[in-house]
Structure 1
């Protein structure tokens, strides 16, 4: 690669926006692709497209038609389908692919974590851990908790769809969240247990710090096996992603 390159960022995360901003500043042609699941997403710098590609075949066709030099998969750690499609499409077209995936959270002294394989498993763990649940796993998959006779504070960016737990309150909000605010929120609602996905990153980690300080148990949903793509080059920071692109432009293997 020499001169300005066309880069497709599969995004929607804070890291994707940060990467797009950095690359646009460097004069690259950046197209960020958003899934379209959030009604009013934070838009990154550069060109933006919203919606799916039509499977791996559609993505491969889009890469060829738009003369894409490289793809950076900076999607959410729990996004499985688009990541798998990217692996297939880039392999078919010979397009370099990089996975930018922030590390998961690690348990700290004072934490009481209960690991769950999925949301259904998380729901089965809740009885006995607390009657008032702070549910922060997003608006998808909430049906897993609908049959529980517990009270839920459900926080998500957009209004969730039924079925929902019978006793609940919905809080529409978007991170980042400060630790003091998270602690105050939990105390105000009498939260006894927190449920979260292992999303990683600093934007939503404050709830873990607040739960630790309050001595609350946390049910943490593991990242699914489909999110791990060992066959793909992978980095954990925006700086490393920029370095990977720089190495490719210089002709170095990466």
Structure 2
């Protein structure tokens, strides 16, 4: 059976999984990620979780088509409810907003006791995902930021913290916003994303100032600080590696 192609975003998410992974892909849609990983790695196993009947059936069709029914188990259910305790060593939640990802993790905390790695790809608000991870016993092990079809995607790989605290277990406000690893790596897309966000924030600040609402002062001050950070990190081009 020929290897099928998936998006650049999902390929990058897949690259963070270890060899012989036994992972759950929550909100798996067509089960493309589990099938891609299990085709490439014959020792991998996956659970594809989907909350809606339509995508659940699509996922089953994909698994059947690629003859992976012995290694990809498609389950219908909400969030981590599809898992048994101690079942998946890795959890992937990709293609949702940060708030929804943290809600799924919060509601399924009982299922995470033996989860070694969480890979999250929030479409927006990666900051809240980082905050949840470090507050719940996970250290940021790696990150990436890619651009695909005019969208920017941050990918966060977090591993369960050991007793000897990782340097990324405690993050400051700036690290939560940009990502501790991304601040070091600064891939090409990092510069494009944060220049775009700085311009967007500048427009928002101007509109808020025109509104002359005294309640906005604190928010304007915070936004101005963040815009300064965005300009600062995108102007540091001297140390930038391709």
TM norm. shorter chain > 0.5: no
- How does the TM-score come out when normalised to structure 1? 0.34
Give the number of the structure with larger relative contact order, counting CA–CA contacts within 8 Å between residues 6 or more apart.
1
Q: TM-score, normalised by structure 2?
A: 0.36
- Structure with the bigger percentage of helix: 2
